[in-house]
Amino acid sequence: MTTKAELSEHAAEAVGAMLLRFQSRSGMPLDVLLAGAHAQIVSMMLTTHGAETAAECCEQVAARLRSLPSLADAEVAGRC
């Protein structure tokens, strides 16, 4: 039996691959593409789950992200 977490991980991988293919084919700058994708996903969360739940999800993710190093920071730390 496939769990919701497993399905979610599969969806994340598929969406990531799709975004990279779209960026490669369109030539759109990745930061612009990600900003548009983020806006669309948050909008879909809002219409699917409502404002309170969408806001809570975004706030929880933001709290987790604040403690993560950037890729550049992680690369520098790996060289030390």
Number of structural domains (the chain) is: 1
pLDDT tens-place string over residues 32-63: 999 999 999 999 999 999 999 999 999 999 99
**Domain coverage including residue 53:** 4-79
Distances (CA, A) of 5 to 11, 12, 22, 23, 65: 10, 10, 26, 27, 19
Mean pLDDT of the chain: 91
| Residue 31: other Cβ atoms inside 10 A | 8
**The token pair that represents 31 in the structure block:** 């930061």
Q: How confident is the model at residue 73 (pLDDT cuts 50, 70, 90)?
A: confident
Tokens representing residue 48 in the block: 């699917």
Predicted TM-score (pTM) of the model is 0.75
